[in-house]
Amino acid sequence: MNILITGGCGFLGARLARTLLAQDTLALCGAPAQPVARITLADRVPPPDDLAADPRIAFVEGDLNALIGSGQLPAAGTALVFHLAAAVSGECEADFDLGLRSNFDATRALLQACRALGTRPAFVFSSSVAVFGDSPEQPLPPVIDDRTLPTPQNSYGIQKFIGEQLVADFTRKGFVQGRNVRLMTVSVRPGRPNGAASSFLSGMLREPLAGVRATVPVPPETAVALSSPANTVRGLLRAAEAGDAEWGARTAVNLPALSTTVREMAAALERVAGPAATALLDWQPDPAVAKIVTSWPSRVETARAQALGLRADSGFEAVLRDYVRENPGAVKLEVR
């Protein structure tokens, strides 16, 4: 089986690739399991060394729109596409054209290229909980579910919802086997901060553990919906595996969410690394960031995901300890 991962050299794409390589086979869309023969990682930056060394990995470097336009992607024989590449929330608010180019133009072009293959490849689209937004004119219900009307309040959320509809229509027409998956905010992300408004939800943990100060731009009582990296990859893979009847409607599936607050996240940090860690947090309100983050839902009911066997993380302290265990070189403080 040949698989394409856009944004494949980023944190989530690389983790997904490692998981696919480790399990070695994949039962695609309800069919019998097949060996994973080739994974193409498309990105602007090269893959981590461990992935680059695996003979099953191919790397295609460049702008996604340009790679699709030149016919380099997707390659003939591609059976599955994980479309993870995107400009993130803060970037889209700061640069409207960047968001359109990265999140709308690239998604439409990739779907058209998959259509041109003529083989109805599976297409897993990483959408976002940001398709939901709270506004005075149309307030969110206390708990959202798979049937809640998306009401995005920022460019990123709107572009992701447009992407969902494109995938749904290409699926309806029989061009691809589409799977729209709404990801929760992923925490804790290793590496460096990105331009997402939610980036601090990893930074407020990752940086103090490394002995570095971190800014928290929202009030402690801010409620959020999170998913660990492992649980997020689990959801993406399950979407690829589910048969049409099992998956059900063409509308997106909300992945399971751990509902917590920023205060509780800070408390978990202190339990894991002591007061020395939380002393490195600077609580400095940023109205622009808070406006985006607080418009997103914090409580999500995920009946369709649960029917697929997916569950939310059990608690944030366990998620944080998993980060410490998986990234020992990034932790400088003593862990309890």
Catalytic residue set: 156
Which of 169, 28, 16 minimizes the C-alpha distance to 107? 169
From residue 267, alpha-carbon distances to 141, 177, 234, 245, 273 in Å are: 28, 43, 27, 43, 10
- Residues 143-153 as b/e (b if ≥16 CB within 10 A, e otherwise) read ebebebebbbb
d(CA 46, CA 52): 8
Query: Hey, what amino acid is at 252?
Result: A
Residue 95: alpha-carbon gap to chain centroid? 21
Asked whether 269 and 204 are in contact (CB, 8 A), the reply is: yes
In sequence order, what are the beta bridge partners of 124?
Answer: 82, 179
User: Checking DSSP bridges between strand 34-35 and strand 38-43, what pairing results, if any?
Assistant: unpaired
Cα dihedral sign, 252-255-256-262? negative
Q: Which residues pair with 25 in a beta bridge?
A: 35
Q: Write the DSSP symbol of residue 225.
A: E
Longest dimension (CA), the chain: 58
In the structure encoding, which two tokens stand for residue 43, read together? 């990105």
Residues in the chain: 336
* Contact (Cβ atoms closer than 8 angstroms) between residue 201 and residue 145: no
